[in-house]
Chain A
Amino acid sequence: MNPITESEALISRPIRKRLLTRTRARRWLRMAFSYALLILITLFCVFPIAWILKTALETPQYIRNPQIQWIPLKFTLQNFIDVIGNPRAMIGRSYLNSFLVASVSTLISTIITVLAGYALSRFSFRGKSAFAIYLLIINMVPGTLILISMFVFLVKIQLVNTHLGLIIYYTAIGLPLAVWMLKSYFDTIPIDLEEQAMIDGTTRLGAIRYVILPLALPGIIAVTVYVFLSHWNEYMAALTIVQAPSLRTLPVQILNFMGFERLDWGPVMAYSVIVSLPVVILFIFAQRRFVGGLTAGSIK
């Protein structure tokens, strides 16, 4: 409610009432307009995702239909059964590959970056700003440049076409962002807590272990999820470093599968649902936290 200003108070009651209804009507109009616009943008964001689901759940002969229907004409799980049973899809194998590569690389990068993020947040030391600037400018180096020399390196140590090679690459590209996000989480934890613990006789590592880690755990989990998702979705290096079909990760394998199924979108969309569902759930569950870390990290 608007507070009634002095000049309004001087106006007689009926007029005041009319003025009030007018502002109220205006406010309603404004709100309706905002909602309409918001719904339009939300539709733009959501319709491709709805379309994945619709295609995946539609009976194959109705998928290529000249009329567009948003509810499946004849609901079926046939596409999912086809994909899971299709040996060319190799869905179980690729799932395992993706999970292995993404989780190992994420684990390594989070463990080593927790300490670095803490150091960046708590200490000032010589070379700190150079270190921080490097973490930012590495973002602008084209992925292809790093990939080319990583590829040469992996060929030399004979790790091309192995999961370990991919894990090394992912660990390297995940580090800068993880350090940066973790630093911003540690910044939000008051420094007094660990100083108190250290006055009480704990060592620095003890303070980190027993005071800081439990407090920062939600943030650390959020960063872990974020890094995991970006490795799970990574395509360029997965396409380049690993060639053997049995070693492929999901993004490469789903495209390969689409190559076989040329224009048969039902199974491909069912595959898409199977690939996306776990990460979408993880994302929704963790997004509030890692969004906080990202914004704090890049805006400060």
Chain B
Amino acid sequence: MNALKRKATPYFLILPTLIALIMFSVYPFVSGLWYSLTDIKFIGGVANWVGLENFERLFTGTSSSATYFYKAVQQNFLWTISVILGQLVLGYITALLLNEKLPGRGIFRTLIMLPWAIPSVVMALTWQWMYDPFFGLINYYLKALGLIEKYQIWVGQPNSTIWPQVVVAIWRGLPFMAIMLLSGLQSIPDEMYEAAKMDGASALQRFRFITLPLMRPVTVVVTMLTTMWWWNSFDIQKVMSPVQSLAYNSMTLPLLAWYEAFQWKHLGRGAAISVISLLIMSIFIIFNARRELGNNKENS
């Protein structure tokens, strides 16, 4: 009796979460996969099976979302890779600096965290104001530094590129990246550096042969996590896109899926775009997870 009770306890404890997850997470996920194979309408919820028609339209179609599709896939790669690379490089520098026992680093740490605290919509709005073509401070400073000759219209045009948004995303994600990497750095024992110093290793060698290999697991996990987030990110792109028309040059998959589903009211096609996005991401994640697991096995 007691043994049975002991076995049953964890299930009782996870039961409420499990029920909520099945109803509001597993069910929507599975039905979302199903909707991508149907012609489900915006109102009424009648879903007729259409097979792979939604996908076929995306790959071979010539109207509405199909015209944006290839560009959006390409842009989504460009967006994610550049955002994550930028965050990693800046995040590493920030984490290494915060890890030096400099006086006053607590204040720096708190200030560096601030972009994380601001609501994403507010910060996208603020950057839009800073990118203002006439009175924006970015134009002002870039011109003062001689980097541009005349004021540019950075965002909000149908032909605007993705790069101004990439800067915003790097700014936004830097705190999380830096703090995660910092916690990884702090878990490396000081003795290792001391010992290497004794053996005459230079700062660069210590970084190359101690920091980098020991930081590898943390870096991989954080990169995978943030890649998933930024691959699916929506807020910055939506706020900084033009209001009336769609921006061909800065279209990404989450934005396209949302427009298709909720602006043009083709829920099934929107789901199809999301499914393709999910497939690409899962290939990336499985590939990476496999390689990492393989590495761990070799090491142990």
Residue numbers of A with Cβ under 8 A of B are 31, 34-35, 37-38, 41-42, 44-46, 48-49, 51-52, 55, 63-66, 68, 109, 112-113, 115-116, 118-120, 122-123, 125, 128, 131, 134, 137-153, 155-156, 168-169, 171-173, 175-176, 179, 204, 229, 232-233, 235-236, 239-240, 250-251, 254-255, 258-259, 263, 265, 268-269, 272, 275-276, 279-280, 283-284, 287, 291, 294-295, 298-299
Question: Least Cβ distance of B266 to chain A in Å?
Answer: 10
Inter-subunit contact A255/B125 (CB<8 Å): yes
Sorted nearest first, the 10 A-B pairs with minimum C-beta distance are A172-B24, A283-B117, A119-B13, A116-B17, A145-B274, A123-B10, A112-B16, A251-B121, A233-B119, A144-B257
Among A155, A172, A283, A294, contact of B25 (Cβ-Cβ < 8 Å): A172
Inter-subunit contact A155/B180 (CB<8 Å): no
CB of B171 within 8 Å of the partner chain? yes
Inter-subunit contact A235/B238 (CB<8 Å): yes
CB of B196 within 8 Å of the partner chain? no
Chain B residues with CB under 8 A of A168: 24
CB of B35 within 8 Å of the partner chain? yes
CB of B207 within 8 Å of the partner chain? no
B136-156 to A contact mask, C-beta < 8 Å, 1/0 = 010011000000000000000
Chain A residues with CB under 8 A of B118: 49, 276, 279-280
Inter-subunit contact A148/B129 (CB<8 Å): no
Inter-subunit contact A235/B114 (CB<8 Å): no
Inter-subunit contact A51/B126 (CB<8 Å): yes
Among B14, B40, B97, contact of A41 (Cβ-Cβ < 8 Å): B97
Nearest chain B residue, comparing its CB with the CB of A268:
B125
CB of B205 within 8 Å of the partner chain? no
Chain A residues with CB under 8 A of B16: 112, 115-116
Number of interface residues of B (CB under 8 A): 98
Inter-subunit contact A142/B232 (CB<8 Å): yes
Q: Which residue, of A240, A254, A265, has the highest number of chain B Cβ atoms within 10 A?
A: A265
Inter-subunit contact A148/B271 (CB<8 Å): yes
Inter-subunit contact B111/A48 (CB<8 Å): no
Q: A144-B258, A172-B25, A229-B117 are in contact. List 17 more A-B contacts (CB 8 A).
A: A45-B115, A139-B225, A140-B228, A140-B232, A142-B274, A143-B234, A144-B261, A150-B24, A150-B28, A151-B261, A233-B119, A235-B234, A268-B129, A276-B118, A283-B116, A287-B113, A299-B184
Chain B residues with CB under 8 A of A31: 102
Inter-subunit contact B108/A64 (CB<8 Å): no
Nearest chain A residue, comparing its CB with the CB of B235:
A235
Inter-subunit contact A139/B111 (CB<8 Å): no
* A283→B10 CA distance, assembly (Å): 33
Among A48, A131, A141, A250, contact of B119 (Cβ-Cβ < 8 Å): A250
* A146→B243 CA distance, assembly (Å): 24
CB within 8 Å of A: which B1-59 residues: 7, 9-11, 13-14, 16-18, 20-21, 23-29, 31-33, 35, 40, 43-45
Interface of B is mostly: helix
* A31→B113 CA distance, assembly (Å): 22
Inter-subunit contact B35/A148 (CB<8 Å): yes
* A265→B100 CA distance, assembly (Å): 40
Nearest chain A residue, comparing its CB with the CB of B98:
A38
CB within 8 Å of A: which B76-126 residues: 90, 93-94, 97-98, 100, 102, 105, 108, 110-123, 125-126
Inter-subunit contact B97/A38 (CB<8 Å): yes
Chain A residues with CB under 8 A of B126: 48-49, 51-52, 269, 272
CB of B246 within 8 Å of the partner chain? no
Residue numbers of B with Cβ under 8 A of A are 7, 9-11, 13-14, 16-18, 20-21, 23-29, 31-33, 35, 40, 43-45, 90, 93-94, 97-98, 100, 102, 105, 108, 110-123, 125-127, 129-130, 132, 134-135, 137, 140-141, 171, 174-175, 179-180, 183-184, 217-218, 221-222, 225, 228-229, 231-232, 234-235, 238-239, 243, 253-254, 257-258, 261-262, 267, 270-271, 273-275, 277-278, 281-282, 285
Inter-subunit contact B274/A148 (CB<8 Å): yes
Among A45, A151, A295, contact of B114 (Cβ-Cβ < 8 Å): A45
Question: Least Cβ distance of A111 to chain B in Å?
Answer: 8
Nearest chain A residue, comparing its CB with the CB of B225:
A298
Inter-subunit contact B267/A152 (CB<8 Å): yes
* A169→B228 CA distance, assembly (Å): 20
Among A38, A119, A140, A156, contact of B278 (Cβ-Cβ < 8 Å): A140
Sample of 28 A–B contacts (CB below 8 Å): A38-B97, A38-B102, A41-B93, A42-B112, A44-B171, A48-B127, A49-B126, A66-B135, A116-B13, A119-B9, A123-B13, A125-B10, A140-B231, A142-B257, A145-B29, A145-B257, A146-B29, A148-B32, A148-B271, A148-B274, A152-B31, A152-B40, A233-B119, A239-B238, A258-B125, A259-B243, A265-B129, A269-B129
